Amino acid sequence: MPEITDTFRAGGTHPAPRDLAATPAPGILAAPDILAWSCPAPLRDQPRVVMGHGGGGALSAELVQHIFAPAFGGEVLAQLGDAATVSLGGARLAFSTDSFVVRPLFFPGGSIGDLAVNGTVNDLAMSGARAAYLSCGFILEEGVEMAVLARVAEALGAAARTAGVEVATGDTKVVEAGHGDGIYINTAGIGLIPAGVDLRPQRVVPGDVVIVSGPIGVHGVAIMSVREGLEFGTGIESDCAALGGLVDTMLAVTPDLHVLRDPTRGGLAAALNEIAAASGTGVVLQERSIPVPPAVANACAILGLDPMYVANEGKLVAFVPREHAEAVLAAMRSHPLGAEACVIGEAVSEHPGMVVARTGLGGTRVVDLPIGEQLPRIC
């Protein structure tokens, strides 16, 4: 599929197979597998939007690359980080937005109201910014119960107070029954980036240590456990939380962290692939080091999912200069939201743009960018 190969090469969202062939790392990668890698669907030729376009994987990237980026132009958008970094009145600000269409509205450990705050607050935190102000736009479906709306609004307000962010402005639209799904929420947030902090994938260098702040896959499994048709008892609650405090703790050790990302849609795999692609380094993970709670592993086994691709809403992954890694890890573990932080891998000069995992049996597998989300409407 040469057309797809070109697409990816042009956009830099994924390494082209030929580049890999040119820089083989025989001990790690089995060349035949790599060369056989191809995209399972002709993404560019999708005539209509499919669910996967909202999944945070390759299809989402295609949409940005082929529709939004050319139409909007602009240098800031081209950064494609969790948040944009902009300058205004002499202040360096992080600015980010997310819409929330999670189903159901309430789930173990949270609600769409919690997500609407923490999703955007965390995007800002990944720039090192403490969220200061949020906007909040509701799209309500005619007929939604006022009591449900009130519960969501209360959850949103409480989450904002916990995160230390103020809801400063809002908007409400109502659409006819059958043109929504109860409540959709968009939030946008702004926050100040501290002096000396410059977090972006381009700063990643081989040798950087990859740290994850805790067990992965929890949010996604919590949602799946209550999704209609899938109900199963896990006792797992979403990890939905605001990460600004944890990031502050890390930056207090050194402002010289290289990049932070919160692995939401598409999970840890999508976050690491985006960083690898944008930084031009490779990433090697020790599969055994990746913390997966037994209940998540069991649920994923039953559902045929890979925890690496399951969404998180209260975790971050950090690329830290080797000399600071130990101190940053210790600081993270001193914070409630980083108590189970651990090193899971490192940035390498081999296989630029690609993420691989060393398996427990001594083998190596490619952890590629997901096409879409395994389960739609996870956030």
Query: Please, which of residues 3-62 interact with a second copy by CB under 8 A?
Result: 46-55, 60
Using the minimum distance from each CB to a second copy, give the nearer residue, 30 or 50. Answer: 50
Q: Copy the structure tokens of residue 334.
A: 């001193």
d(C-alpha 160, C-alpha 22), whole Å: 50
- Closest approach of a second copy to the CB of residue 139, in Å: 5
Considering only the stretches 144-152, 198-206, 283-291, 323-331, report the one whose residues sit in contact with a second copy under the rule CB under 8 A: 144-152
Q: Copy the structure tokens of residue 111.
A: 């609600």
d(C-alpha 240, C-alpha 156), whole Å: 12
Contacting a second copy within 174-193 (CB under 8 A): 174-176, 178-181, 184, 186, 188, 190-192
Query: For 270, phi and psi rounded to 5 degrees?
Result: -65, -45
Considering only the stretches 32-40, 70-78, 229-237, 303-311, report the one whose residues sit in contact with a second copy under the rule CB under 8 A: 70-78
Considering only the stretches 15-23, 32-40, 164-172, 269-277, report the one whose residues sit in contact with a second copy under the rule CB under 8 A: 164-172
- For 253, other C-beta atoms within 10 Å of its C-beta total 18
Q: What stretch of H or E contains 319?
A: strand 317-320
Beta pairing partners, 138: 172, 185
Name the burial class of residue 153, with classes exposed (0-12), middle (13-18) and buried (19+) by CB atoms within 10 angstroms of its CB.
middle
d(C-alpha 192, C-alpha 144), whole Å: 36
Residue 170 near a second copy by CB under 8 A: yes
Using the minimum distance from each CB to a second copy, give the nearer residue, 236 or 369. Answer: 369
Q: Are 184 and 137 in contact (CB under 8 A)?
A: no
Q: What stretch of H or E contains 161?
A: helix 146-163
Contacting a second copy within 331-360 (CB under 8 A): none
Residue 135 near a second copy by CB under 8 A: yes
Going by the DSSP 8-state scheme, the letter that residue 106 receives in this structure is E
Q: What three-state secondary structure class fits 90?
A: coil
- Closest approach of a second copy to the CB of residue 127, in Å: 11
Considering only the stretches 4-12, 94-102, 334-342, 348-356, report the one whose residues sit in contact with a second copy under the rule CB under 8 A: 94-102
Residue 136 near a second copy by CB under 8 A: yes
Q: Which of 10, 76, 230, 339 binds a second copy (CB under 8 A)?
A: 76
- Closest approach of a second copy to the CB of residue 211, in Å: 26
Residue 91 near a second copy by CB under 8 A: yes
Q: Which of 30, 41, 64, 197 binds a second copy (CB under 8 A)?
A: 64
